Amino acid sequence: MELGVAIIILCFSAVFAAFMLLVFGLIYAEFSNSEIPLGVAQPGKLRLIHGLLVGIAVLGRIFQNMGLCTQMGFTRWVSNTLLPTSKVPPQLLIKDLTFAEVPVRVYQPKAPSSGHRRGLLYFHGGGWMLGSIDTYDDLCRYIAKESATVVVSVGYRLSPEHRYPAQLDDCLAATSHFLEVAEADYGVDPRKVAVGGDSAGGNLSAALCHRFVENDLPLPCAQILIYPVLQMADFNLPSYQQNQYVPLLYRTRMGFYYLHYLNGDTSLLEDMLDGRHVPVELELKYRKWLGPDNLAPEFKTRGFTPRAVTAHDEEVYDIMKDALEPSVSPLLTSDTVLCKMPPTFILTCEFDVLRDDGILFKKRLEDLGVPVTWWHVQDGFHGIVSFFDKGWLTYPSGKLALDHIVSFVKTL
């Protein structure tokens, strides 16, 4: 009997050891592809955060292969379940509601206001696949409390279950509903309602403003774009080359998110990264907006090799042509529409593949006379604002960046 128990324990230990070796092996393989350049804030802390995220993804992949759940489902569950819960600030009234059948969370300051309040529709990041109202709860609380603004966090549908334009449709529906009830239900002046978001949420904010202009609807009073994704035409900009292996967003991962948002055909990833989805005539047209000459010299000093214009693949273009529409790539919006954009706040990070998207969008807006407020986090990486208040994982430059966003909101 004792021998049998010993054998079972030995077998279990061997299986567990093999399992852990597999997990750590996969994490190490991912780590070996990462690169944290000199100048990144607190690099050791970033490696730890990256390791935790990679570990979650690896476990999700193993559980998916075992038939227990999907990798995406596990990642979402961990993100939402392991969040530390904090007490509702006494200054805020927080309610979970639905606006036009879209889940939202409303953060409403309790203190009386001498006049109408400001409003902000916030669209979370996460590559259109991850993120939720819960994962952005602390950030939205902070903005609402510190700026005395009614903040509406929008729980739009996610890919791969829902493809473009479901996410944008949800953001439009929630925003339109809030504009209708803002004054009567929340004491918010509809003329002082802004839209904003980070990463994919920044994309949705800019695309939403494009829709408002195209449909001749009253525009939000401002858009707040936090390291936004703004174009799917060129994945060889200087920031994509310099930061392609910098956590928390790799170049290939950005392409992966974009393809899942668009159509789910990840077999096109290499074609897209190499630019074979863009016809030569369009590539030459976009160069006036995306060309490296539009960037200041300091953004090319860490290395940049211009890519020669090459022939495209017509079949790839046919499958991916929606990627070049302004509602997917707001940076490719025509001048006649872009000049009507509202005042804009743009935040960029030096060590982020999306850095140049934001900087190029800033230049286009400024050239067309649109007021732009820009904050560049010199030691920042993609996602740093989310670590504005995470205990020992807090980044002071993330907190400073968020305070600049709050300051901008107060001016609306």
Q: Which residues are catalytic?
A: 199, 352, 382
In angstroms, the Cα distances linking 399 to 55, 60, 216, 395 are 26, 31, 37, 7
DSSP 8-state assignment for residue 328: T
Residue with tokens 């918010």: 188
Q: How many CA atoms lie within 13 A of 275 on its CB side?
A: 20
In angstroms, the Cα distances linking 332 to 97, 168, 217, 291, 325 are 35, 17, 21, 12, 7
Q: Is the peptide bond before 160 cis (omega within 30 degrees of 0)?
A: yes
Instruction: Give the chain's radius of gyration (CA, Å).
Output: 22
- 378, containing H or E segment: strand 372-381
**Cα–Cα distance for residue pair 8/354, rounded to 1 Å:** 51
**Cα–Cα distance for residue pair 189/367, rounded to 1 Å:** 30
Which tokens is 180 given?
């209708």
Number of residues assigned to the chain:
412
In angstroms, the Cα distances linking 409 to 80, 221, 358 are 27, 10, 19
Contacts (Cβ under 8 Å, ≥6 apart) of 245: 33, 34, 35, 251
**Cα–Cα distance for residue pair 333/269, rounded to 1 Å:** 24
